[in-house]
Structure 1
Amino acid sequence: MSPSVFLRTIEEGNNTYKDMWKDKDESWNFLQDYDPELIKEEKRKELESEIRLQVDELMRQELKNLKLAVNREKELLAKTGKKKGGKKAKKKKKGKKGKKGKDKDLTADRTIESLYKELVEEGLLIQALKVNLSDYIGEYSYLGTTLRHLSIEPMPSLLDVRQLIALYGVLPLGSAAVHEHAPLVKSLLLAGPSGVGKKMLVHAICTETGANLFNLSAENIAGKYPGKSGLQMMLHVVLKVARQLQPSVVWIGDTEKTFYKKVPSAERTMEPKRLKKQLPKILKLLKPNDRILIVGTTRRPFDAELQSFCRVYQKIILVPRPDYASRYVLWKQIIQRHGGVVTNALNVSCLAKVTDGFTQGHIVEVVRGVLTERRVRQQTHRPLVALEFIPALSSMSPVYREEEETFKDWYAKTPMGKKRALALMGGNAGKEKDKGKKKGKEGKKEKKRK
């Protein structure tokens, strides 16, 4: 890995501490009052810089006067030459302006407030739900290393997903300094089965960063801004408002519909592929200074064309179903959040084992159904038991391993998946080489002994 961009600032801070504070004797300064010597040093530097500027100005004036006195004629000729050159430069600038004028602002006569109002009325600019990233409950995958030793690539844990969302979404959008120095990520894809919290993560990004949320899902833009000119106007307005009021998140829900291999007959009237050709253009228009993130969510990524899909989305995050450790924490915290009391009578471990394959959405739905106001009041006399939650689960269909495997297989075909596979293969090959070298050395030692 390349060294962090922030390493230099940390080193500078460390050096200043070593130079100034490490060996400083402050036995006299028990009350931690101001240090007059430090203030004097700082003020000396300021005075030096001010005096230097004044001296430089005086020297420049003297030099100018000397040049004028010595060679006035040459200076006049130089001035006339500069004027001619200035006219040429102006002509060139005019030519450049003419070229730039081709990219016209379609809404130059309108204010940002009016455009904002229009997007809200059309339902393209929506209010993000107040959800914190910490509300996305999960736990680390404790079996990850053991599975890797057995050459089985595990699914990422829910805390891994949360960390990636913070790295690619929250930090670059929330901090301008991080956005400048960190690698530029313009688009992000969250892929996973329904109910694992993809939409929640989108809203969490907006809540944590205070970003505006634009909804450009195929279902949401259906019938709005018809025609090519209408589509161009819509994207222009969205980008203009997103730039002016950044940070902004452009969310495309069920984004596989935009990149359908074959559009189902029932969805042809909706024109789901309207944005297919426009999305790469939008990514090109986004500049490094723009704190705008395009986030796509999908539960069926294998229905989309892989090449065009991967061209648009730089980073792909697989959002898995929760494992045992995450389910244990989920059951416990969600029950407590809905007014439930976890006692010894409630076997949370049993619930976590039974609900293998069920998502966070299923667990929340079950808890809401069981913990009614009446049941919450009855807890003092009748504590909660695991059996109360089972009947509600029986009517729900879990996410089976086959479905999870299809997601893994699809991810393996993507450029990111291929890179990851190569990296893992390289690591394994290195280990095998090391083992071979060790065996060779041991064999040589045995021969010498003989």
Structure 2
Amino acid sequence: MAKTRTVQEEALKKQQAGHEPLSSEAAAIRMQSAARGFLFRCRVKHDANNEMSLLNINPFARSAAQDAAFGRLREIQLKRRSIQLLNYDEYLDAMRIAKEQLIDLEGQEMREIIQESINKWLNDHRDPDTGFFPPFPKAADGGSKYIVQPPPKLGFHVEEKKGKKEDKKEGKKKKAKGPPVPPHPVLPEEDPEKPPSCPKFFLRHVRECLELYTRNWHDKDNSAELTQKHDMEMLKSHLRPMVFEQIRLEVDETTRAILDKVKQKIVAELKAARKKQKGDAAKPEKKEAKKDDADEAAPPPKKKPKKLKDTSAQRTIESLYAELAKAGIIQAYPKRDFSEFVATDSFFGTNFEMDPVGLDPSMSQVKRLAMEYCVFPLVSDFVHEHAPFIKSVLLYGGSLNGKKLLVHAACRTAGATYINLSPEVTDGQYPGKQATKMLQMAFKIARVMAPSIVHVDGVEKLFVTDKKKLKTYGLKDKANRYKKPLLKEVQGIRPGDRVMFVGTSSSPQDSPGKPPALANFFNKRIYVPYPDHGCRSSLWRALIERHGGRVTDRFNLSTISHVSEGYSSGMIEQFCKAVLTEKRKRKVKSKPLVIDEFTTLIYDTKPVDPEVHQVLREWAKPKAVDPAAAQDPKAAKGGKKK
């Protein structure tokens, strides 16, 4: 099977490279040869085992007649299985009996509690003018589930959006008073004995699990109970919520029937009262009332917000997918994994979490954040429902530093559909207003084929407004024409869509604005730094072994890590590919690698400019506050000398 898989992968690579596909006859012959080869190998293996068993030299064949220990083991296994079946039958009978006991003994009390909660909710939400009760929730919406057991409040605070008028007023006030100076951050003292903290939005679930363990198992001693049979009290506690849910559904049905009858009675009473009022009222009073109603001008109806028209409503999903795949927007992402992103921990990890201004994140922190923001919300429904909603992530840093690798690894780990909207991919394909239609099609496919990751490489090009700068990119169309429709589509991502927008940028400083519009657009920003000394040491070892080399004691990792300072991860990989040719790989055992083979390439290649590195580091980081300026804002601006 492994050989068949390798043949299939080679055929797929040839097809992607542009080779002519196999004919039907050639494909059938190749499939037959693979199947017949597999069956023949199985037959030969079976015959070889039979022959060794016949000669009594098969080390894998054991019989109970010849091996007493093996026979005893088989007897114990069969006995254990029979006891497990008996215990399971006994458990099912006990479950049925316990359920009947709960319905007989506690069912009436549960019914009264549910009915009392429903009656209280109906009376609280009853219309005082007409006397109508509120519509009872449908069974598809949960019925009285959220009336009897209201959902718990979230552990984090969700800020409400303010109106445009309030934002303008606050902006005027801020302009009049001047920019506020934030106070100097006070760093908490480190406590080495303090356990690691849990995120607030998962703390409640951790506490519930801890309470469940302490309630059921903490003080329980089962050492004398060797049979390990079921516990009747625990079984009842497990069945009690199921019985409660069954009774709640029965109460919901009776409540709906009663509400229908009450509604019919109230409607009949209202009709009778209206007929009586019409008979008693005089005709002239009716005419005056009509005139007064005609004189009063009706208020103009409120304008509804415009909704984006779905231009692809009449097309099928298959046709949309075929068009985007033909244009190269929906792509088959390469088989990359997070293990390929070589990362090491940093000794400044805790200090970085408290004061992220002066330190770069370590590569392990970058990998962890990429998994938390781009993979967990798409894969886990629990994380998607309880964690803060994130719909856009920006990976920025130097070129050839592993940003695309993280995106491809996130796609493969989450099993997501990969949609590439980079300017190089969409350039010259959708002119004019067709760009908006293309973005609507892409995000529609992303929602239908969720989980999906929409990726834009070089996302800063969408925000550049300088015409001279746009010409340097060498594109046929202006990249910033996708900005407005893309912002609308990303803002339209809602919880439950399981769509993530990921942007990568090697020069985010090109985007205009202070603060940059690119930084404000994304919910989360992850800086991918250049590898430090420890990471470069691990990187050299991993890349040399990945490309067929071997690191021995003669290869000084510390020296080459120091020499390669200022080079990105991709540049180090290029050095390894250039040195480890097919000819050099064959001589690795007899002639081990030395650092002199790499240093010539390193010296011939220019490292990254330290100024570019500093600009990337300080692009989206919060600026440190001077303590003197925080206490005296006038001194920071530069007051007049007395």
TM-score bin (small chain): 0.7 to 0.9
Q: Which residue of 2 aligns with 1:317?
A: 526
Match of 2:504 among 270, 280, 297: 297
Match of 1:4 among 200, 203, 209: 200
d(CA) in 1 for partners of 2:237 and 2:580?
Answer: 67
Q: Which residue of 1 aligns with 2:322?
A: 117
**What secondary structure does 1:201 align onto?**
helix
Q: TM-score, normalised by structure 1?
A: 0.79
Q: Is 1:259–2:463 an aligned residue pair?
A: yes
Higher helix share: 1
Whether the 8 Å contact between 2:439 and 2:486 is mirrored in structure 1 is no
Q: Is 1:283–2:506 an aligned residue pair?
A: no
Q: Is 1:21–2:217 an aligned residue pair?
A: yes
Match of 1:225 among 408, 419, 430: 430
- The letter for the 1-side match of 2:447 is R
Q: Which residue of 2 aligns with 1:76?
A: 268
Whether the 8 Å contact between 2:363 and 2:528 is mirrored in structure 1 is yes
d(CA) in 1 for partners of 2:265 and 2:400?
Answer: 83
Indicate how the Cα distance of structure 1 residues 294 and 63 shifts in structure 2: closer, same or farther if over 3 A, else same. closer
Whether the 8 Å contact between 1:130 and 1:203 is mirrored in structure 2 is yes
d(CA) in 2 for partners of 1:51 and 1:26?
Answer: 34
Post-superposition Cα deviations, 1:175-202, rounded to whole Å, max 9, x if no partner, equal 2221222122222222111111111111
**What secondary structure does 1:5 align onto?**
helix
- The letter for the 1-side match of 2:556 is N
Cα distance, 1:30 vs structure 2: 1.9
Gapped regions of structure 1 (runs ≥ 5)? 82-94, 431-450
- The letter for the 2-side match of 1:76 is A
Q: Which residue of 1 aligns with 2:388?
A: 183
Whether the 8 Å contact between 2:463 and 2:480 is mirrored in structure 1 is yes
Q: Which residue of 2 aligns with 1:249?
A: 453
Whether the 8 Å contact between 1:250 and 1:293 is mirrored in structure 2 is yes
Cα distance, 1:99 vs structure 2: 6.6
Whether the 8 Å contact between 1:321 and 1:399 is mirrored in structure 2 is no
Residues 259-268 or 180-189, more deviating: 259-268
Q: Which residue of 1 aligns with 2:66?
A: none
Bigger RCO of structures 1 and 2 (CA < 8 A, at least 6 apart): 1
Indicate how the Cα distance of structure 1 residues 345 and 301 shifts in structure 2: closer, same or farther if over 3 A, else same. same
Q: Which residue of 2 aligns with 1:439?
A: none
Matches within 5 A, 1:238-387: 238-264=442-468, 265-266=471-472, 267=474, 269-306=476-513, 307-387=516-596
Match of 2:405 among 200, 206, 211: 200
Indicate how the Cα distance of structure 1 residues 407 and 80 shifts in structure 2: closer, same or farther if over 3 A, else same. farther
* Runs of 4+ with >4 A deviation: 43-65, 72-75, 78-81, 98-103, 143-152
Indicate how the Cα distance of structure 1 residues 311 and 154 shifts in structure 2: closer, same or farther if over 3 A, else same. closer
d(CA) in 1 for partners of 2:305 and 2:548?
Answer: 61
d(CA) in 1 for partners of 2:353 and 2:630?
Answer: 14
Identity of aligned residues (%): 37
Whether the 8 Å contact between 1:283 and 1:312 is mirrored in structure 2 is no
Q: Is 1:401–2:616 an aligned residue pair?
A: no
- The letter for the 2-side match of 1:247 is P
| Count of aligned positions | 402
Whether the 8 Å contact between 1:218 and 1:273 is mirrored in structure 2 is no
Cα distance, 1:59 vs structure 2: 9.2
Cα distance, 1:351 vs structure 2: 1.0
d(CA) in 2 for partners of 1:244 and 1:387?
Answer: 54
**What secondary structure does 1:273 align onto?**
helix
Q: Which residue of 2 aligns with 1:107?
A: 312
Cα distance, 1:211 vs structure 2: 1.3
Gapped regions of structure 2 (runs ≥ 5)? 1-154, 157-198, 274-300, 632-642
Post-superposition Cα deviations, 1:65-92, rounded to whole Å, max 9, x if no partner, equal 9x89xxx9767336899xxxxxxxxxxx
Matches within 5 A, 1:11-50: 11-43=207-239, 46-47=242-243, 50=246
Q: Which residue of 1 aligns with 2:138?
A: none
- The letter for the 1-side match of 2:448 is Q
- The letter for the 2-side match of 1:109 is Q
Residues 236-245 or 107-116, more deviating: 107-116
Whether the 8 Å contact between 2:436 and 2:482 is mirrored in structure 1 is no
d(CA) in 2 for partners of 1:5 and 1:79?
Answer: 52
d(CA) in 1 for partners of 2:231 and 2:423?
Answer: 64
Cα distance, 1:140 vs structure 2: 2.2
**What secondary structure does 1:227 align onto?**
coil
Post-superposition Cα deviations, 1:28-87, rounded to whole Å, max 9, x if no partner, equal 42243333443345446645664676588679979999x89xxx9767336899xxxxxx
d(CA) in 1 for partners of 2:619 and 2:266?
Answer: 74
